[in-house]
Structure 1
Amino acid sequence: MTIFPALRATLRPTLRPLSAALFALALAAPAAAESGGPGIGSIEIGPRPFYLVGEMKDGALKEQLAQCKGPFTAKNFSIAHRGAPLQFPEHTREGYIAAARMGAGVIECDVAFTKDRELVCRHAQCDLHTTTDILARPELAAKCSEGFQPADPTTGRKASAKCCTSDLTLAEFKSLRPKMDGFNPRGVTAQEYMDGTPSWRTDLYVNRATLVSHKEYIDLVKSLGLKFTPELKTPEVAMPFEGSYSQEHYAQQMIDEYKAAGIDPRDVYAQSFRLDDVLYWLKAEPAFGAQAVYLDGRDEENKGFDNMKPESWQPSMQELADKGVKILAPPLWMLVTHKDGRIVPSAYAEAAKKAGLGLIAWSLERSGPLNTGGGYYYQSVKPVIDRDGDMLALLDVLGRDIGVIGVFSDWPATTTFYANCMKLN
């Protein structure tokens, strides 16, 4: 959703939107996903969720989760954010498969376009310099929008580069090798710049990771029997691209690839930070628009945004609902605040529920350890968190007190574990 490190979820009960009950039915995992999907087998969540339970503050929730032993099944509440990028390079085949094995019922592909107007899975249109080896490939690095500039300690200038999917053809993009998202701003060589994996991630699975096109992602997730959540990334180049490829062409092309693959629109949760994209799908592709997701980035667009002050939300929750929006997806922190030492729902969350909007939250386990405050995603509850186990306390407020539809996670085993323990979809 937003880029590292400060990176970046119910329905209106009227005739137009789905009722809450119908929406819950639409989210029910298909039979293939419940058993792990074809080729996946049983769901394996590994030790991390139990580690987090051990790190929780003592109390009833900790005791309840400690008694949860499985077996575990895939859950649509568990949404794979870019795959499983806590340990696997994001938006790679290997990361998607890891997420499916951890029980994610919904897999995300952030969609960007190449120079030859093919769609690929990449978090941002211009992130190839931090997520691939492009700067180590002179013939491709030469095509970057902005070439590598080394850090200059004497002036304080930080190292930089800007390499976009739209700088390369699909074939050139597919020739790149992915790496963990990160960079070293003090790098004086391209290699030093690329060596920036955060200490709480790992490079263990980088060497054999594989980039994918949007069509390849569709084929993979279809074969796994899971659901799709593609995000149409906001272009970082002028549109229409090269004079003829408009935003509407781009938005339509993404949907057309699901139609060509024979995907049921009820299995697709198209996302965008641009409200106009959501409104376009509602008008041009109503079967897909019915569960399109408006990603709320208004905290970055409007510095006066406050999750406790409705007057700072433009448009309002009711205005969004009146436009036909049915699902709203803000960052974790917007949905919560703290009171009497506890995490509680925010005014933003309560207003969204009152307007009948479905909620999806992003992104759990995107930040580093919580003993330092958790960073961007936990900013509204920083005074009441001091350990990684607090992720589960937050997840419980999202799941039970607010009733979110699902939660994006960089390590879907955690959300799978919680959803199974609480018997969520």
Structure 2
Amino acid sequence: MSRPLIIGHRGAPGYRPEHTRCSYELAIQMGVGAVEPDLVVSRDGVLVIRHENELSTTTDVADRPEFAGRRTIKRIDGLDHSGWFAEDFTWDELATLRCRERIPGIRPGSAAFDDQEPPLRLRDLLALLDDHRAGGREVIPVIEIKHAAYFASLGHDMARLVEAELAASGWNERRVVIESFELAILRHLRERGTSAELVFLIDADGIPADQLSDPTARTYADWMAPDGLDVLATEVDGISPDKMIILAPDAEGRATGPAPLVDRAHARGLAVFTWTCRPENAFLLPEYQTGTLAEYGDWRGEWAVLQRAGLDGVFVDHADLGVEVFGV
């Protein structure tokens, strides 16, 4: 069985606030083969690395009196969200913020590094990866484009912005993976002739956000059916389902996987990644939970099911643990 690509999900957020320079540096130090930046857009069209465009869960924006008037409510992907949003700030303003741990109750060790680093742009991470490459360490970016249809409604063409950034940084001729929960942006990139590998993210339920207004649109479950995989095989290079789909828990929360989806996708020439491996009980199936939500459960037992699946890539929050299990 070949070793999957081990992807530092937002860097190493099990130990440092997500998407910070120190989080990415630690993931690379721990041996990952790739890191994953999520992209949103500033008001002036800069690609900013944040998991969501709402900023208050991962930065100090709510404590900044000069930005108090920016708080608002927005409807994004069919849901109302309250807070401060990247698209309402210039990059220069965003660069004054400081990053914080998203789930401090689960990860107090990471929260100890709050308020030390500013957000990054995509170009900052690509430059960091260039530095490591110059030192003999090749690490690829697995870029997730967030809320592409929503940003398009504001006049931001995410495909064009990403392509321009990759070209300006010299990464358009190197291995890059681009992923999204929205198939339309991946199709747009393919139509524009991107050389990046395209991966369709698949949630455990629901429908892609860019298809919410289409009553005939396929659900994520439909895309995993044989005829859905047949279509995907002509449009993307791989799929990345929620790990729960691979684990296939029964009604009591016991893993019955690996699910046959992996073999079905491979038979159609699609690579298969999965997300996200985390050792805390809060994120494990019930049969692998052994203590409080913040404590580590039997993560090795759960991840062993994923290891047997023959995956091509795995997203991990704790880079060292991912390398320990999947790097053999």
Residues 396/264 of structure 1: CA separation in 2 closer, same or farther (3 Å cut):
farther
CA contact (8 A) 2:6 2:313 kept: yes
- The answer to whether 1:292 aligns with 2:205 is no
Corresponding position of 1:348: 261
Q: Deviations over 1:209-242 (max 9, x none)?
A: 231111111111221221111111115856331x
Question: Which one of 109, 122, 126 corresponds to residue 50 of structure 2?
Answer: 122
Give 5+ residue unaligned stretches, structure 1. 1-23, 25-74, 148-159, 183-196
Corresponding position of 2:184: 276
Residues 76/256 of structure 1: CA separation in 2 closer, same or farther (3 Å cut):
farther
Corresponding position of 1:413: 320
Q: AA paired with 2:13? A: P
- The answer to whether 1:261 aligns with 2:169 is yes
Residues 281/315 of structure 1: CA separation in 2 closer, same or farther (3 Å cut):
farther
Corresponding position of 1:104: 32
Q: Deviations over 1:248-306 (max 9, x none)?
A: x2212112211111125442101111111111222212412xx111111361328x979
Q: Deviations over 1:84-123 (max 9, x none)?
A: 1122111111111111111111011101100111111000
CA contact (8 A) 1:83 1:410 kept: yes
Q: Distance in 2 between matches of 1:125 and 1:315?
A: 34
**Identity fraction in percent:** 23
1:85-100 aligned at under 5 Å gives the runs 85-100=13-28
Corresponding position of 2:304: 396
Q: Distance in 2 between matches of 1:137 and 1:305?
A: 40
- The answer to whether 1:205 aligns with 2:110 is no
Residues 174/297 of structure 1: CA separation in 2 closer, same or farther (3 Å cut):
same
Residues 234/298 of structure 1: CA separation in 2 closer, same or farther (3 Å cut):
farther
Q: Distance in 1 between matches of 2:255 and 2:242?
A: 19
Residues 406/101 of structure 1: CA separation in 2 closer, same or farther (3 Å cut):
same
Give 1:76 deviation, angstroms. Answer: 6.6
CA contact (8 A) 1:144 1:167 kept: no
CA contact (8 A) 1:78 1:106 kept: yes
Q: AA paired with 1:224? A: H
Give 1:418 deviation, angstroms. Answer: 1.9
State the aligned residue count: 300
Corresponding position of 2:95: 174
- The answer to whether 1:164 aligns with 2:98 is no
Q: Distance in 2 between matches of 1:390 and 1:306?
A: 29
Q: Distance in 1 between matches of 2:243 and 2:89?
A: 34
Corresponding position of 2:11: 83
Deviates more, 1:217-226 or 1:200-209: 200-209
Corresponding position of 1:30: none
Q: AA paired with 1:354? A: A
Give 1:342 deviation, angstroms. Answer: 5.8
TM-score normalised to structure 2 length? 0.81
Question: Which one of 120, 124, 131 corresponds to residue 58 of structure 2?
Answer: 131
Residues 166/369 of structure 1: CA separation in 2 closer, same or farther (3 Å cut):
same
* Higher RCO (C-alpha under 8 Å, 6+ residues apart): 1
Helix, strand or coil for the counterpart of 1:361? strand
Larger Rg: 1
Q: Distance in 2 between matches of 1:362 and 1:277?
A: 20
Q: Deviations over 1:139-171 (max 9, x none)?
A: 123123349xxxxxxxxxxxx842110010000
Helix, strand or coil for the counterpart of 1:107? strand
CA contact (8 A) 1:112 1:165 kept: yes
CA contact (8 A) 2:31 2:323 kept: yes
Helix, strand or coil for the counterpart of 1:270? strand
CA contact (8 A) 1:125 1:236 kept: no
Q: Distance in 2 between matches of 1:87 and 1:161?
A: 28
Q: Distance in 2 between matches of 1:315 and 1:121?
A: 35
TM-score normalised to structure 1 length? 0.64
CA contact (8 A) 1:221 1:227 kept: yes
CA contact (8 A) 2:151 2:158 kept: no
Q: Deviations over 1:384-417 (max 9, x none)?
A: 4234453223323323x32111111111111111
Corresponding position of 2:232: 320
Q: Distance in 2 between matches of 1:235 and 1:337?
A: 29
Q: Distance in 2 between matches of 1:306 and 1:76?
A: 24
Give 5+ residue unaligned stretches, structure 2. 75-80, 134-138, 209-217, 291-295
